[in-house]
Chains A and B, each alone.
Chain A
Amino acid sequence: MTSVTTDLRRSAAELKALVTQAQQVCADWSADDVAAWTAQHFAGRVAVACSMAGDTVVPHLIAAHLPGVDVLFLQTGYHFAETIETRDALARAAAVTIVDVLPTLSVAEQDAQYGARLHERDPSLCCQLRKVDPINATLAGYEAWVTGVRREDNVLRAHTPLIEWDEAHQLVKINPIAAWSFDELLDYAVTHQVPVNPLLTQGYPSIGCAPCTRAVAPGEDPRAGRWAGLAKTECGLHNSSDQTITPVETTFVSALQNVSLSPSEPVVERAETPLAEVSTSSTSEGGSARGRRLSQLKELESEAIHIIREAVSELERPVLLFSGGKDSVVMLHLAAKAFWPAPVPFPLLHVDTGHNFPEVLAYRDAEVERRGVRLIVTKVQDYIDDGRLLERADGTRNPLQTQPLLDAIAEGRFDAVFGGGRRDEEKARAKERVVSLRDEFGQWDPRNQRPELWNLYNPRHRPGEHVRVFPLSNWTELDVWRYIEAEAIELPELYYAHQRAVFERDGMLLAVGEYSQPKPSEQIVTRTVRYRTVGDMSCTGAVESDAAGVADVLAEVAATRITERGATRADDRLTEAAMEDRKKEGYF
């Protein structure tokens, strides 16, 4: 904010007097007259607020009289790319000092504190945090601010004066283009080569943050696209009343339809769309549409389905590891989609540790029934009973799963084993291939992996070898949860908050059950918890959580600052190289 003087701010009374004086004579001033007056009285003490939408002409107007004037731009973190580009273009085109006004919290921090996508749940609070509070804090250093408010914006703004006293901010508020029509605004922009947000001519007469702005149809209120579907039309920057607004008839939109300021890409629908929607041009009729882009979730889904179909096509006997855990549930959902309307063409395999959460087993059986697939169960307990495996001193059974798994693979002569493993889970997994060769001992050799090129997977193997296939390789935990939400996938209930008797061990909350009993020194307490992974009950910890539904979990996951395995799997914590060791042995 280079141009703010260090002089003491004039008193409210002095400033009000200036306003009263001006109001007596300014009624028919041109915008340029208002700018000249601003320069005369507020040099170094004024800021122009600019949304980089249709109001870029205002900084230009003022800069003609006050070169280098501060232009405040709210960096909400949610802007359209075009808005940011407009900001950069304005910085080059006009003699202004652009001041990026930042919210106290980054988007990630806000997500952590208030949950992801606050704008969907409480848009007013979101505006307050990202717009109103930051601008108020910034404006406090000035005596006057200039806005791009125009009387034709909406009925609340129909009587906006050119110069007024802003009681809320205790500032002089200057609205030089209050009397302008949209055509006058465009004329000025074209004549003076002022960059204007290209979205304006693409069905977005009013532009705010991307998630809360949509295009409007011809004839609709220009601000109808703001906070669409919500009883909200103002962010609170320009008024604080709760008055509702009735749509006004203007020529605004129809004027926009016929105007093209610059050649640019057509608008892409950016509202938060359900997964099934792909982003295509909102103006797409027939073959003229451009700007088709797949949302990242849909791209991940397409990639996973492609991988599943490749493995099924190229291999003889695939099987899907299915535990009832969320990643395996998502895998089954994707497999069902990949072969619709045919049934899933391979069986499921569950390596049963014997230390299961009962609700997960119930879920597993119901899901198998619903999908009409075959389930093969191999039991660690059988191995312990006949002495092929010994119970570990610590009682955990996850490390004992490897042998039953490899035996089941050999017995079923399975040559492709689908797993829900993701590369973001753990450092050793980051180097895993999508299609990963295992020798006849089930071993993974990280130094001898096949290069994986393009989307050309090579699952060829020799007799006795098999491949592990990880279609979710490129997904993150957040992606999995977002997909569960988008596709309304049902999960075992223990993924959501519930009351449970637990005890604390090594910083983890373990459930009290047949296989996990507290030591005398460990106290049993009832807590509201949920599970982030489901495995051997004796070594899978719960986290305290109130997240009762998928949206709550999503918010929680977005805010979580600890990896899911690090938080809740005792077996990965044994040594730093724990996962790598188990993978080499043939564990998933």
Chain B
Amino acid sequence: MSATLTDISSTDTTGTLLRMATAGSVDDGKSTLVGRLLHDSKSVLTDQLAAVERVSKEKGLGIVDLALLTDGLRAEREQGITIDVAYRYFATAKRTFVLADCPGHVQYTRNTVTGSSTADVLVLLVDVRKGVLEQTRRHLAVAALLRVPHLVFAVNKIDLVDFDLARFDAVAAEIAEVAAGLGIEDVRCVPVSALLGDNIVDRSERTPWYDGPSMLELLEALPSGTPVEAEPFRFPVQLTIRPQAAALDPQYAEYRGYAGQIASGVVRVGDRVTVLPLGRRTTVAGIDDAGAELSEAFAPMSVTLRLADEVDITRGELIAGAVDAPTPTCEVDGLVCWLSDQALRPGSRVLLKHTTRTVQGIVKEIKGRLDLDTLGPVEAEALTLNDIGRVTIRLAAPIVAEDYGTSRRTGAFLLVDPQMGSTLAAGMIRPGPAIDDFEAETLNWSI
């Protein structure tokens, strides 16, 4: 199983941002990998490195423990584990990386969900001596659910099996099998030693049987997300800008614009659009970027749209391309990753936050949950912490729900506790089978 750079469609990535997440199980060397990426891409500054060298020495370690670069909080230092998502930043000559470093401990799966939600690529760590663990399957299932566009497996500690091709191939085959079971096609495996640096930045001479790119080469070439041109135009309105007498310049006293971040697609001046959920039609009269008039804009730009007709639009409405406008709904059917200590039951009252719109909801039905051992659906009366389940939620007002499978931004939602305000679940709108169909359903409901 070898990946080459040319497998990746040849769009240019120079000067762009790649959001990546890393996840792994306890002791598979994830912090070391992250430390190694930072160190070898020369993103570690002198004083940080000096501190790590000093601490390594104090601990009596023979070599510099690069994992110390990323173990941020005191509790983690004491327990020697990573307990919360930490964000790291590094850049190469080619591109800039935002890295969400997700914890390896089994009870903190919610952090992998967090990291994966914004990631263009998830880098999963596997210890070549241990192969695919339960935790690996869980992470893989989460990545599939959250539709992370690219998955890269760092098959780590290859030095501990003497850079043995057979051992690597066995693990790679196992990964391919599990991934295929989840319907994931785009998986790449790189044999690495995070500790020694093999195939992290430079291709290792100790794995002559591997002719693919190094970890960093691979990450530099990955396209970030789908091309905007292939997506429908979606613009959730954040707020209306109407300065009236307060305008910075009297000429803008009559200005009325709708501010937001383009969720997907491209918009041009003159485009026909539909304002949802009511479905009014109008035309884009202008696109403003803080005083600069644009002829077109695309995701993920933050802009302000002016419309040809005097339509009264408020926060939470969606401006969509007129030709492919979606249909609003008062009931959503979707998958949720349950992130709260309190259980979710039918009849639970929640707030559902979808794009810039928050509506009240009642859980109508829990259709089942995903058994992460068998990767198959099982019946469930309630969802508890770390469960991934399928639910139907009735809403007090319509939202413009789209299938998360095709629209990450307009298919995602949060469930929020109406009293406490805490975030209960990460949700993804995925119309799917009813509980009766469970027998016949295999795994496609999960992704």
Please list the residues of chain A having a beta carbon within 8 angstroms of any beta carbon in chain B: 77-78, 80-82, 84-85, 88-89, 106-108, 198, 210, 264-265, 268, 270, 276, 278-280, 287, 289-296, 298-303, 305-306, 309-310, 312-313, 336-343, 372, 423-424, 427-428, 430-431, 446-447, 449-456, 458, 460-462, 473-474, 476, 478-479, 560-563, 566-567, 576-577, 580
Chain A residue with Cβ nearest B339? A451
Q: Which one of A80, A88, A450, A473 lies within 8 Å of B6 (CB-CB)?
A: A88
Q: Is B5 an interface residue (CB 8 A)?
A: yes
In B138-158, which residues have CB < 8 Å from any A CB? none
Name the B residues within 8 Å of A461 (CB-CB).
Answer: 421
Q: A309-B239, A453-B412 are in contact. Are A341 and B252 (CB under 8 A)?
A: yes
Contact B95 A296 (CB under 8 A): yes
* Contact assessment for B111 and A563 in the assembled complex, using a CB-CB cutoff below 8 Å: no
Contacts of A343 in B (CB 8 A): 243, 246, 248
- Known A342-B242, A342-B248, A431-B86; further 5 A-B contacts with Cβ < 8 A: A302-B300, A313-B238, A343-B248, A428-B73, A454-B408
- A85 to B98 alpha-carbon distance, docked (Å): 25
Query: A264-B10, A453-B114 are contacts. A562–B412 as well, Cβ < 8 Å?
Result: no
- B residues 370-422 touching A (CB-CB < 8 Å): 408-409, 412-414, 416, 420-422
Q: Please name all residues of chain A whose beta carbon is closer than 8 Å to the beta carbon of B6 when the two chains form the complex.
A: 85, 88-89
Q: Are B301 and A278 in contact (CB under 8 A)?
A: yes
* A–B pairs, 25, beta carbons within 8 Å: A77-B93, A78-B93, A89-B6, A106-B93, A280-B296, A293-B11, A293-B13, A302-B300, A309-B260, A337-B290, A338-B259, A341-B248, A342-B242, A424-B89, A427-B86, A430-B87, A431-B72, A453-B412, A456-B412, A461-B421, A462-B421, A561-B45, A563-B45, A563-B47, A566-B45
Are B73 and A567 in contact, CB atoms less than 8 angstroms apart? no
Question: Given A309-B238, A341-B243, are A302 and B248 also a contact pair (CB < 8 Å)?
Answer: no
Residue B110 at the A interface, CB < 8 A? yes
Known contacts A306-B261, A453-B414; A458 and B47 CB within 8 A of each other: no
**Is B160 among interface residues, defined by CB-CB distance under 8 A?**
no
B227–A291 contact, CB under 8 A? yes
Binding site of B, secondary structure by majority: helix, strand, loop or mixed? mixed
**B27 at interface by CB-CB < 8 Å:** no
On chain B, the number of residues with a Cβ less than 8 Å from chain A's Cβ atoms is 91
Q: Are A577 and B89 in contact (CB under 8 A)?
A: no
Is the pair B229, A292 in contact by a Cβ cutoff of 8 Å? yes
Which residue of A has the minimal Cβ distance to B71? Answer: A427
**Minimum C-beta distance from B291 to chain A (A):** 6
Return A204 CB to nearest CB of chain B, in Å. 12
Contacting chain A: which of B14-22, B127-135, B165-173, B190-198?
A: B14-22
Within 8 A of A (CB), among B104-143: 110-111, 113-114, 117-118
**CB within 8 Å: A-B pair count:** 233
Name which residue of chain B comes closest to A372, CB basis. B248
A456 to B47, CA, bound (A): 35
Whether A474 contacts B89 in the complex (CB less than 8 A), given A81-B10, A453-B113, A458-B416, comes out as yes
**CB within 8 A of B423: which of A80, A294, A450, A462?**
A450
In the bound complex, what is the Cα–Cα distance between A423 and B70 (angstroms)? 12
B441 is an interface residue with CB less than 8 A from chain A: no
B177 to nearest A CB, angstroms? 29
**B1 on the A face (CB < 8 A):** no
Q: A343 to B255, alpha carbons, bound, how many Å?
A: 13
Docked Cα-Cα span, A81 to B14, in Å, equals 7
Give CA–CA (A51, B108) in the complex, Å.
50
B96 contact set on A, CB distance < 8 A: 296, 479
Q: Which residues of B contact A (CB under 8 A)?
A: 4-6, 9-17, 42, 45-48, 51, 70-75, 83-89, 91, 93-96, 98, 110-111, 113-114, 117-118, 221, 227-229, 238-239, 241-243, 246-249, 252, 255, 259-261, 266, 268, 288-292, 296, 298, 300-302, 304, 315, 339, 351, 353, 355-356, 408-409, 412-414, 416, 420-423, 426
- Point out the residue from B239, B252, B302 that lies within 8 Å of A312, measured CB to CB: B239
- Assembly CA distance A84 to B9 (angstroms): 13
A460 x B84 contact (CB < 8 A): no
Residue contact A276 to B426, C-beta cutoff 8 Å? no
Please give me the residue from chain B that is nearest to A577 by CB atom.
B74
A460 CB to nearest chain B CB (Å): 3
Kindly list chain A residues whose C-beta atoms are within 8 Å of the C-beta of B241. Answer: 339-342
B15 touches A85 (CB 8 A): no
In the assembled complex, which residues on chain A have CB atoms less than 8 Å from the CB atom of B47?
562-563, 566-567
Assess the B114–A451 pair: CB atoms within 8 A: yes
In the complex, the 7 A-B pairs of residues with the closest C-beta atoms, listed nearest first: A460-B421, A337-B290, A342-B243, A341-B252, A566-B47, A305-B302, A296-B17
Residues from chain B with Cβ under 8 Å of A310 in the complex = 238, 356
Contact status A458-B421, CB under 8 Å: yes
CA of A571 to CA of B292, assembled, Å = 42
- The answer to whether B93 and A80 touch across the interface, beta carbons within 8 angstroms, is no
Kindly state the separation between the CA atoms of A204 and B351 in the bound complex, as whole angstroms: 54
What is the bound-complex CA distance between A287 and B408, given in angstroms?
A: 24
Contacting residues, chain A, for B260 (C-beta < 8 A): 306, 309
